[in-house]
Structure 1
Amino acid sequence: MDHSNQGDRPILLFDGVCNLCNVVVDFILRYEVDSRFLFASLQSDKGKELTEKYHLSKDIDSVIVIKSGSAYCHANAVFQVLDVLPWYFRIIKVFKILPNNLLIAGYKLIAKNRYRFFGKRETCRLPKKEERMRFLG
């Protein structure tokens, strides 16, 4: 896979066996304005490498956006994703007026129960042929 311009592209790390996380990845792939994001499951070698590089807990219960040398977790990661979606999805940013600790608590509540609410896969998501260039190993 050629990821020669990977350095300036945001990366979304996600739980590869979580149904909700995979729906989020599919949503981004469908609606993203300029195909900017790259993806890696937290279970992949690249996911583990980036988790270690950014000193994130191996047990983190969040999607993670790595952008411009910073790692964003929880609701802050969601707000980073909104930046690449069409304008009408960005209305969700109105929630930024809430205290950050409240946003994180809400995110963690959903994350903690995601398998129970949305289910879990036996294996990580395999990208479709046309998506492979966007997924890191």
Structure 2
Amino acid sequence: MTEAREQPVVVYDGVCLLCSRWIRFLLRHDDAGRYRFAAMQSDSGRDLLQAHGLDPESPFSMLLVENGRGYTDTTAIARILHTLPQRRWRWLSRAILSLPTRWRDVGYRFIARHRYRLFGRSEQCFVPAPEQRARFMP
């Protein structure tokens, strides 16, 4: 298993402004560089989505691949928040997970379905700073 496969990977919509803000947030708060990132528009992002049963042409889910297992929607977000070093994010993770999955994912899917209208869309994928590029998969 390669190092890239051992690190958890977050697959996100590279042209969604909300998703790009999420990735910027993670780059700022993931001090240990635990996560790698793959835009769903990239070959690696599409491959990961398909490998975990998600349609890359109609992705309403964010995907976290960790130890070979895929997590989507609010479960993925909560798992990521729980690993960040600041205590407040762990608290938020527990708060998210305390809600019934059905309720939290209905809210997540509503936002995902309307994300371009609510938050905007970029003509190109988020471009990381040169020092961050190694964390992004092609």
Q: TM-score band (shorter)? A: over 0.9
Aligned residue for 2:106?
105
> Secondary structure of 2:83's partner?
coil
Residue of structure 1 aligned with 2:14, choices 13, 16, 33? 16
Aligned residue for 1:87?
87
> Secondary structure of 1:83's partner?
helix
Q: Matched residues in 2 for 1:55 and 1:98: separation?
A: 25
Residue of structure 2 aligned with 1:49, choices 44, 47, 50? 47
2:31 is the alignment partner of 1:30: no
Q: Matched residues in 2 for 1:73 and 1:126: separation?
A: 24
Amino acid corresponding to residue 132 of structure 1 in structure 2: R
Cα distance, 1:25 vs. partner? 0.1
Q: Please say if residues 10 and 64 of structure 2, whose CA atoms lie closer than 8 Å, have aligned partners that are also in contact.
A: yes
Q: Matched residues in 2 for 1:88 and 1:66: separation?
A: 23
Aligned residue for 1:136?
137
Cα distance, 1:134 vs. partner? 0.1
> Secondary structure of 1:17's partner?
coil
Q: Normalising by structure 1, what TM-score?
A: 0.92
Q: Please say if residues 33 and 84 of structure 1, whose CA atoms lie closer than 8 Å, have aligned partners that are also in contact.
A: no
Q: Please say if residues 61 and 108 of structure 1, whose CA atoms lie closer than 8 Å, have aligned partners that are also in contact.
A: yes
Q: Percent identity?
A: 33
Q: Please say if residues 75 and 97 of structure 2, whose CA atoms lie closer than 8 Å, have aligned partners that are also in contact.
A: no
RMSD (Å) for aligned C-alpha atoms: 1.1
Q: Matched residues in 1 for 2:96 and 2:44: separation?
A: 31
Most deviating of 28-37 and 88-97: 88-97
What 5-or-longer segments of structure 2 have no aligned partner? none
Question: In the comparison of the two structures, how many residue pairs are matched?
Answer: 134
Q: Normalising by structure 2, what TM-score?
A: 0.92
Q: Matched residues in 2 for 1:120 and 1:70: separation?
A: 29
Cα distance, 1:98 vs. partner? 1.3
Deviating above 2 A after TM superposition, structure 1's stretches of 4 or more consecutive aligned residues are none
Q: Matched residues in 1 for 2:96 and 2:11: separation?
A: 23
Q: Deviations over 1:44-83 (max 9, x none)?
A: 0111111122221221212110001111111011012112
Cα distance, 1:95 vs. partner? 2.5
Q: How does 1:38-77 map to 2 (within 5 A)?
A: 38-58=36-56, 59-77=58-76
